[in-house]
């Protein structure tokens, strides 16, 4: 079992590999945390999260749930689990989740915590906790509702069905369905579009959208000017404005500073 971090230029790639089907376990979570420590210590301009193997994930190691003997211990386990998507969502750089196959429970919940979700046509998604009498515990219900609406989230959770990438794209859950002839290369090319942009401005957009999620448009309106003004001191904004005036739009080169 491993969670590794590699670099492709300004793009960092976090890869989960826990054969045979990348089940969530506390050991996997610990390894994921260690990789995120590396990300935070030396921020890339984009982070791609992916998995190796036949599937992205077959779900969770149910034995870890069943081993809990009290409600308090169970709550502590769930509290630990939700830390993972929260940590991913808090990253100040664009994040892209790449789904090449079956993506269940925790993996879908982490995918929904990423800014963007790309998938192959053969990818399948599900929040299937109903099969053990549970509801999703890592934010999948609410993040799915934020993307597709509460009624769609209820359908996914209540049925426990699997949904294909085309359906999730139509619902606004998947951003792009990329052909799987060379899905890895296509994903990196997609991520590279954001890696050469004004990284701090993207982080500012994420801050604004967190206020939308917390309190709606009015809440975001109360904070957006302060957030945008903080970009004044960035090299990218100063260079971008000068380049626009001198060379016209679309000619600035951004360095993420």
- What is the value of pTM for the model shown? 0.95
Angstrom distance (rounded) from CA 119 to CA 70: 38
Angstrom distance (rounded) from CA 88 to CA 80: 14
- What would the pLDDT profile of 161-185 be if each residue is shown by its tens digit? 999 999 999 999 999 999 878 999 9
Looking at residue 150, its pLDDT comes to 97
| DSSP code per residue over 75-96 | HHHHHHHHHHHHHHHT-SS-EE
pLDDT under 50: residue ranges of the chain: none
DSSP state of 138: S
- Residue 6: how many other CB atoms lie within 10 Å: 10
- 78: its two tokens: 């769930």
3-state secondary structure of 251: coil
Angle at 167 between CA 162 and CA 132, to 5 degrees: 20
- What would the pLDDT profile of 73-84 be if each residue is shown by its tens digit? 989 989 999 999
Cα distances from 60 to residues 25, 137, 213, 227, in angstroms, run 7, 11, 28, 38
Give start and end residues of each alpha helix (H) in 23-96: 26-41, 62-66, 71-89
């Amino acid at each position: 079992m491993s969670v590794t971090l590699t670099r492709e230029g300004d793009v960092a790639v976090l890869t989960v590999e826990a054969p045979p089907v990348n089940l969530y376990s506390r050991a996997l979570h610990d390894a994921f945390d260690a990789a995120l420590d590396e990300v935070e210590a030396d921020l890339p301009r984009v982070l791609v999260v992916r998995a190796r193997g036949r599937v992205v994930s077959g779900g969770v190691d149910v034995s870890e749930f069943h081993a809990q003997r009290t409600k308090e211990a169970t709550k502590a386990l769930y509290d630990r689990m939700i830390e993972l998507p929260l940590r991913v969502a808090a990253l100040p750089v664009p994040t892209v989740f790449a789904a090449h196959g079956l993506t269940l429970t925790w993996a879908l919940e982490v995918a929904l915590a990423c800014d963007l979700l790309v998938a192959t046509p053969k990818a399948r998604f599900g929040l299937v906790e109903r099969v053990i009498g549970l509801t999703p515990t890592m934010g999948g219900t609410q993040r799915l509702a934020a993307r597709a609406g509460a009624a769609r989230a209820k359908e996914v959770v209540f049925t426990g069905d699997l949904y294909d990438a085309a359906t999730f794209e139509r619902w606004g859950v998947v951003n792009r369905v990329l052909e799987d002839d060379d899905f890895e290369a296509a994903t990196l090319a997609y991520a590279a579009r954001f890696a050469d942009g004004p990284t701090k401005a993207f982080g500012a957009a994420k801050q604004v959208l967190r206020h939308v999620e917390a309190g709606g448009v009015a809440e975001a309106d109360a904070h957006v000017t302060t957030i945008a003004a903080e970009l004044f001191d960035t090299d990218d904004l100063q260079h971008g404005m000068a380049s626009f005036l001198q060379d016209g739009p679309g000619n600035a080169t951004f360095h993420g500073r």
